[in-house]
Structure 1
Amino acid sequence: MPQRTWSAVAWLLVIAAVGALAVLAFRPPAPLADAPPAEFAAGRAEEHLRAVARWPHPVGSPDNERVRRYLVDTAGGFGADVSVETDDVVVPWRGVQRIATTHNVVARVPGADPTGRALLLVAHYDSVPTGPGAADDGAAVAAMLETLRALGERPVRNDVVFLFTDGEEAGRLGAEAFVRRHGVGDYGAVLNWEARGSGGPVWMFETGPGDGPLVSAFAAASGRPIANSLAAEVYRLMPNYSDFTVFLAAGARGLNSAFIEGVHDYHSPYDDLARLDRGSLQHHGETMVGLVRGLGNADLRAVDGGRAVYFDLFSRVLVHYPMWLAVVLAAVTVLGLALLIRVGRLRVRRVLRVAGVAAGAVVVAAGLAFGVWRLVAVLRPGLAFLALSEPYERGWFVAGFAVLGLAVLLAAAVVVRRCEPAEVVAGALVVPAVLLAVTAVALPGASFLFQWPLAAGLVAVRRPGLAFLPPLVAAAIHPPLVGTLLVALGMPLVAVGVAFALLVGVLLLPLFRGLPRYCAAVAAVVALALVATGAVRSGAGPDEPRPDALVYRLDTEGGRADWLSGDPGTDAWTARVLGDRPERVTLSDEHPVLDKPLMRADAPVLDLPAPTAGLSGGVVRVTPGARAWRTHVALTGLRDCRFAGHPLDDRLLELYGTAPREVDCTREPGVPVVVEVTDQWPGLPEEAAALVGPRPPDAMPVQSGSRAHDAALVRAVFRF
């Protein structure tokens, strides 16, 4: 093997080692069973979590009240001034008016020498109806209680307010109520804490305007300050939300953090204490305590500053600098590359040819990844309907698609083999240079992705023997970002992750030129073998259950009942009542919660308690059944409706909890009033579950938020 080949292989191994180290470092800290009183210990926080996450506790439920009492008693026992703020809330949501009574728990710890603005920590204590919420958001709630206790051991300068919101899962209802009551002017910074899974490191993924001082505080808050401004740029463009969305809209400054691994447990019965990564709980708490110490002693009247560009190195150091500097660096670096190409008398046509091949490799790799996953979805259709479309054997798929991208790059290296080494280096750098110029203007928070690999590559244009420098720098920054992106997007969007990886992966072209031509074919075979292995191994079993669901629908007016399911097809459990060839229907007009195609079969009519409604003048009084957690109400023949003084823009209402609700309307002259009320129960009622029998061990209930989950729908119609 030629010396050039040996050198390339050696540097590729070094680059791979750096990338592996970056991935391995992307982990939460080890949990502490105990720690000094002023420090955080996951073991102490776990006792709070054990009390909070016993059972599902959605807004309006008896268990929600149980958790609220625990929060009040515990925070008060730690010396905080505690109050419960009860509000009727109306929030428009996708064509309906969501209505609930929220109970926010507010615990204030007075500061030793307040600067005039308080620090606000926020986590929601409600859960979805399909899971006990140990991670989402019990871990943050427990961490806040332990942080509150630690704060009492070492007070800070400013007031610190711990806000436990209600109704976040129903659409940020508690946060809306708090902001309507208080605004955000009294708070120098808002720190929100979330989870989308059962483990992984806590990742600060969203900031507000003027985030520079807060990013600096985050950098110093813990030994693992994991964050990057790319996430903030991307999240800003997505339709996702959390309580932090409400505070940002009101003009607050702050940070939003979460852990996101273990997505199969998200919003499911497995979001329990047994599945929770205690390291994630420790990371929540260490970061909280560090931020409370740092910001709690800062002048919170002066936390507003310029926006920052930031990213972590090996999950231990947060690099951050002003956004204006990022624009200057980008301009200097791009112009530097252009100057080096000119001074070096490189053949511009050859350089652009290499750049074209590199850009083409990105497109081809993304297209192949899309096509291969589509083929997997056709051959194994059940994989696309796993929890959040994420196969259990994702490691095989991630490895396979990574090697597929390498195969494309190896093939591209063969195409540019005849170009001079300096031309290949320069051409490979043109792609990140163009992206750097674009992001510096359009998404400056993402500019670091290309800034530092490109800067490292400038010297290699004049000295091609240093072509290992750009991919070496990229290996220290990019692998955890690619992995996190794949977790956030899910395997159906793996093509995006592959394209993202290859945007800097093209920097490997100069090194790949020294490898034998057959390497591309070998890599392609290995990639397909890895993906095939993942497809074969991803089967249902007790350790990897397949989510399924049944909905029992009872129409008391028509005296009819149905079995419904939003699953792609029947399995051994659902076929017991749906049969092998159920009817396909769409019921979105009747039930807003059922907004996707469904399988349907006749069901026996059970004697289930139904909601009631009455009309007195123009006041409609709706009383949900005792087992409902959500109730839909459609009003006909009424206009100008109001609830608790709030005007209702739509006459399709979504009520949470079982308390009776009164809606004040004006009757439309000569039009009959019709009130359609549908209770939604969490899970199948015992009467219906007995007809189906127990769910087999290789299946699990569908998560809330992904598609129709186990429930009963009990509909009643009232005419006046």
Structure 2
Amino acid sequence: MTSPEKRHPTGRRARVTGLIALCVLVLIGIAAIRDITPTAVSPADAPDQTFSAARAFTQVERIAVAPHPVGTAEHARVRDYLVGELRRLGLKPEVQEAVGVAPRSEPGEPVTAGRVYNIVTVIPGTAPTGRIFVTAHYDSVPEGPGANDDGAGTASAIETARALVADGTRLRNDVVFLITDAEETGLLGSEAFVKEHPLAQGPNVVLNNEARGSKGPVLMLRSTEPNAGLISAFGSAAPMPVADSVYAELMKLLNNDTDFTAFKPGGMAVLDSAYANAGTLYHNILDDPAHVDLAALQQMGDNTLALVRSFGTADVAQLTTRRDNLVYFNLPPGLLIRYPAWTAAGLAALALLATLTLILLTRRRDIVTLRRTLLGTALALIPIAAGTGIGIYFWDLLKAFRPELNGTATTTPYRPELLWLAVLTLATTLLITWYALLRRRIGTTELSLGILTWTALIALALGIVSPGAAHLATWPTLGAALGGLAALHCPPQWRTLALSTGLIPAALILLPTAWNTLPTGLQYVGYAPIPLMILFTGLLLPLIETVWLRRRSPLIPLTALTMSITLAAVGLLTEPFDKQHPRRTSLAYGLDADTGQAVWLTSRNPDQWARRYTGTRNPPTGPWAGESKLASPAEAAPLPPPSLQVLADTTSRNERTLRVRIRSERGANTIALRVDETTATVRTLTVEGRPITADPAGFTFHAPGPAGVEATLTVAATNDTIRLRATDISPNPTEMSTLPGFVPPPDWLFLGDTKISVTKAYPL
């Protein structure tokens, strides 16, 4: 019996052509992903006037010897080392000692402040029109050495300064190297610089370098707005300008802070860059020099040095005074596409018009019916909504199978690639299953037009509400619609080529963005990767239909589902939990010096080791009330409470003004003071000479030094006695070993978010 393929050779040819087209489109997407992945590394003997990651890495090794949070001896060592390195280059660094106040605080909550030591040095320009800042922060979190966050940014600043000095050519504008302090404790150093240092007065352009992982492309996450001048110059000058305005739109919604948050209100124009792959090393004990990717460091440095040289010869005012914003994104080979944001809605409307024209022409040719097209459009919302819903709970499902994942930073495993592929395969499975169930009832073309219509509507909505993200849907829609229109007007043998050509924008934008947003964390796959992958697969439906099995078609979604489950299972089973791949665990200790009672504080979902401290697992009370943790009784340690000395006490017009000094008798590097709101309401507060403009109930002060903290409070008293509660806090995990009853965690866990606090109430 003759096979269908032999009876209909054109069917076999169409299937082969369709399969080739699908493969080519996927390969185009992979090429776009690889195009923004850094690979080059300059050796230590590279020319002196160039940036060398190998040379910069030696700085990382000397910075990230051990954790160096603010207020510690190691922190002071790192500061002295950096000052010495800048002096060795022939520069004249100064250390700005000041009091910084967190730029964000909630009314009625204690404000965060601290003593900071910013490192500042200037390479003077020949005829300055402004200043170009190269910034990073040199403090680390208590649990990790901070080799990536932000040893890499600091090292890139030092190596950039070295290259500029070696070049010997002075630029037109001043170049300022600002290594800020206390970023990890609330952006205190950058806030103090903007508030008090004369160099903060503009016009200024800031190149801020950060890390949220240990490798991957250095992405320019966001800029101050209007950004047309900055983005245009960035795209032209940076040798590897990786950026996408969709991330800037996302950063407006997420509560992720860098020094950008403090620089922006000060009127400084900022380009904020970071690499974020391998995010499980973020704030991790393994954030050490051995886990720094030299290729990422090279890209960071190459871009920084090139931008300094470009901005250093420009008129800074022209960079910062253009009043429009740009949409921007990457395309191979190494291009940063950019155009005015005000055109986003118009382009999206054009894409919707092309889609409606395609629907109208297919209806006129009796290829589709209007009723089925409308039905297909309505039903196309099902996979998009289902994918979003499943994606929101995807991480929780993984943790149900492997509870150890609870301690994974940024919800990114050590070996995430198989799980990332599982996410994208799951999105494809949802779309393919939906298509398999409806293709005969509704029709391939109607379902394809339904997905295309939703993509066009999403583009229009984004163009109006969030122009910087509209390109994700606009260009794939416009390309697919134009490809469909071309297919209607060309000979049958050219239709696959026409459709495939129209889908190239989808392959260049949707597939890479779905993959590149996965490092944000598996907790967020429902918000971008899965919906984007569903839209991408949906736009491919005309090509998928050409390779669809006419017999045993249920095998297609079943195969896709099997692949997704297999990838997820293998990813979970191969995810290591050992000393080389540790997880974070949370444990804090609190002592109430008034009652002599102590507690262990754990997260509400403690891991197996932390459960030994949970006991009765009660919500915290007393001094720890309001914390989102579980409290259990602990043995009281012989720790002295912080002292409070009243320096002045006056009353005027029903308001009482207190000047007090709080000091840690055990040398803790954080001191907190809170006013019992049942006894008084704070009207004004000054801490170490800095007036607090927020409406706080007290303050938390980092790096107070041996002398402690002096504060002046004016309060409206509701009782004759005002109750102040003083607390000192040690965030150093190594100090936990001195506590009675403490048993170190196994070697596959490390202590993070660790605090030892002693509190005492003072009635005045």
One of 77, 82, 90 as aligned partner of 1:79: 90
One of 23, 28, 31 as aligned partner of 1:13: 23
Whole-Å Cα distance in 2 between the matches of residues 110 and 589 of structure 1?
55
1:185–1:549: structure 2 CA closer, same or farther, 3 Å change rule? closer
Deviation at 1:203, TM superposition (A): 0.3
Equivalent position SS for 1:366: helix
Question: Which residue of structure 2 lines up, in the alignment, with residue 583 of structure 1?
Answer: 616
1:5-84 map, 5 Å: 5-34=15-44, 35-84=46-95
1:657-668 map, 5 Å: 657-659=703-705, 660-666=708-714, 668=717
Question: Which residue of structure 2 lines up, in the alignment, with residue 145 of structure 1?
Answer: 158
Determine if the alignment matches structure 1 residue 122 to structure 2 residue 158.
no
1:240–1:5: structure 2 CA closer, same or farther, 3 Å change rule? same
Deviation at 1:61, TM superposition (A): 2.7
Whole-Å Cα distance in 1 between the matches of residues 347 and 171 of structure 2?
38
1:604-683 map, 5 Å: 605-618=636-649, 619-636=659-676, 639=682, 640-643=684-687, 644-647=689-692, 649-659=695-705, 660-666=708-714, 668=717, 671-681=720-730, 682-683=732-733
Percentage identity across aligned positions? 29
Whether contact under 8 Å (1:56, 1:131) holds in the other structure is yes
One of 578, 589, 604 as aligned partner of 1:541: 578
Whether contact under 8 Å (1:471, 1:505) holds in the other structure is no
Equivalent position SS for 1:585: coil
Equivalent position SS for 2:222: strand
Could you list the structure 1 runs, at least 4 aligned residues long, displaced by more than 6 angstroms after superposition.
418-421
1:374–1:97: structure 2 CA closer, same or farther, 3 Å change rule? closer
Deviation at 1:18, TM superposition (A): 1.6
1:59–1:434: structure 2 CA closer, same or farther, 3 Å change rule? same
Whole-Å Cα distance in 1 between the matches of residues 199 and 164 of structure 2?
25
Q: Which amino acid aligns with 1:446?
A: A
1:531–1:189: structure 2 CA closer, same or farther, 3 Å change rule? same
Deviation at 1:187, TM superposition (A): 2.7
Q: Which amino acid aligns with 1:632?
A: A
Question: Which residue of structure 2 lines up, in the alignment, with residue 480 of structure 1?
Answer: 512
Q: Which amino acid aligns with 1:480?
A: P
Deviations 1:632-659 (A, max 9, x none): 2223456544221514632321011142
1:306-325 map, 5 Å: 306-314=324-332, 316-325=334-343
One of 626, 630, 641 as aligned partner of 1:598: 630
Deviation at 1:198, TM superposition (A): 1.7
Deviation at 1:624, TM superposition (A): 1.9
Question: Which residue of structure 1 lines up, in the alignment, with residue 355 of structure 2?
Answer: 337
Question: Which residue of structure 2 lines up, in the alignment, with residue 276 of structure 1?
Answer: 292
When Rg is computed on C-alpha atoms for both structures, the one with the higher figure is: 2
Deviations 1:384-429 (A, max 9, x none): 4422333334222222221121122222333235667665554432
Deviation at 1:227, TM superposition (A): 0.6
Question: Which residue of structure 2 lines up, in the alignment, with residue 165 of structure 1?
Answer: 180
Determine if the alignment matches structure 1 residue 460 to structure 2 residue 508.
no
Equivalent position SS for 2:348: helix
1:279-678 map, 5 Å: 279-303=295-319, 304-305=321-322, 306-314=324-332, 316-344=334-362, 345=364, 347-370=369-392, 373-414=395-436, 415-417=438-440, 423=446, 425-462=448-485, 463=487, 464-465=495-496, 466-491=498-523, 493-494=525-526, 496-514=528-546, 515-516=548-549, 517=553, 518-538=555-575, 540-566=577-603, 568-571=605-608, 573-574=609-610, 578=613, 582-587=615-620, 590-591=623-624, 595-603=627-635, 605-618=636-649, 619-636=659-676, 639=682, 640-643=684-687, 644-647=689-692, 649-659=695-705, 660-666=708-714, 668=717, 671-678=720-727
Whether contact under 8 Å (1:199, 1:277) holds in the other structure is yes
Name the count of aligned residue pairs.
707
Whether contact under 8 Å (1:432, 1:504) holds in the other structure is no
1:96–1:493: structure 2 CA closer, same or farther, 3 Å change rule? farther
Determine if the alignment matches structure 1 residue 180 to structure 2 residue 225.
no
Whether contact under 8 Å (1:633, 1:677) holds in the other structure is yes
Question: Which residue of structure 2 lines up, in the alignment, with residue 706 of structure 1?
Answer: none
Whether contact under 8 Å (1:60, 1:100) holds in the other structure is no
Moved more, 261-270 or 65-74: 65-74
1:309–1:554: structure 2 CA closer, same or farther, 3 Å change rule? same
1:65–1:544: structure 2 CA closer, same or farther, 3 Å change rule? closer
TM score, norm. by length of structure 2:
0.86
1:209–1:585: structure 2 CA closer, same or farther, 3 Å change rule? same
Determine if the alignment matches structure 1 residue 133 to structure 2 residue 149.
no
Equivalent position SS for 1:513: helix
Whether contact under 8 Å (1:422, 1:461) holds in the other structure is no
Whole-Å Cα distance in 2 between the matches of residues 167 and 64 of structure 1?
10
Whole-Å Cα distance in 2 between the matches of residues 670 and 357 of structure 1?
65
Question: Which residue of structure 2 lines up, in the alignment, with residue 93 of structure 1?
Answer: 105
Equivalent position SS for 1:583: coil
1:87–1:238: structure 2 CA closer, same or farther, 3 Å change rule? same
1:657–1:368: structure 2 CA closer, same or farther, 3 Å change rule? closer
1:699-710 map, 5 Å: 699-702=749-752, 709-710=753-754
1:117–1:84: structure 2 CA closer, same or farther, 3 Å change rule? same
Whole-Å Cα distance in 2 between the matches of residues 377 and 228 of structure 1?
31
Q: Which amino acid aligns with 1:661?
A: V
1:247–1:687: structure 2 CA closer, same or farther, 3 Å change rule? closer
Unaligned runs of 5+ in 2: 6-10, 488-494, 650-658
Whole-Å Cα distance in 2 between the matches of residues 80 and 7 of structure 1?
64
Whole-Å Cα distance in 2 between the matches of residues 356 and 263 of structure 1?
38
Deviation at 1:136, TM superposition (A): 1.0
TM score, norm. by length of structure 1:
0.91
1:53–1:421: structure 2 CA closer, same or farther, 3 Å change rule? same
Whole-Å Cα distance in 2 between the matches of residues 290 and 334 of structure 1?
40
Equivalent position SS for 2:179: strand
Moved more, 470-479 or 614-623: 470-479
Whole-Å Cα distance in 2 between the matches of residues 495 and 219 of structure 1?
28
1:133–1:567: structure 2 CA closer, same or farther, 3 Å change rule? farther
Question: Which residue of structure 1 lines up, in the alignment, with residue 491 of structure 2?
Answer: none
1:144–1:375: structure 2 CA closer, same or farther, 3 Å change rule? closer
Whole-Å Cα distance in 2 between the matches of residues 234 and 495 of structure 1?
10
Moved more, 615-624 or 549-558: 549-558
Deviation at 1:44, TM superposition (A): 1.4
What RMSD, in angstroms, separates the aligned Cα atoms of the two structures? 2.6
Deviation at 1:689, TM superposition (A): 5.8
Q: Which amino acid aligns with 1:100?
A: G
Whether contact under 8 Å (1:53, 1:138) holds in the other structure is yes
Whether contact under 8 Å (2:476, 2:509) holds in the other structure is no
Whole-Å Cα distance in 2 between the matches of residues 238 and 674 of structure 1?
37
Question: Which residue of structure 2 lines up, in the alignment, with residue 102 of structure 1?
Answer: 116
Q: Which amino acid aligns with 1:71?
A: L
Deviation at 1:39, TM superposition (A): 0.7
Whole-Å Cα distance in 2 between the matches of residues 460 and 691 of structure 1?
70
Determine if the alignment matches structure 1 residue 695 to structure 2 residue 745.
yes
One of 685, 698, 714 as aligned partner of 2:735: 685
1:131–1:671: structure 2 CA closer, same or farther, 3 Å change rule? farther
Deviation at 1:157, TM superposition (A): 1.6
Deviations 1:644-680 (A, max 9, x none): 1514632321011142111123474862243322222
1:588–1:123: structure 2 CA closer, same or farther, 3 Å change rule? farther
Whether contact under 8 Å (1:219, 1:318) holds in the other structure is yes
Whole-Å Cα distance in 1 between the matches of residues 41 and 740 of structure 2?
42
Q: Which amino acid aligns with 1:8?
A: G
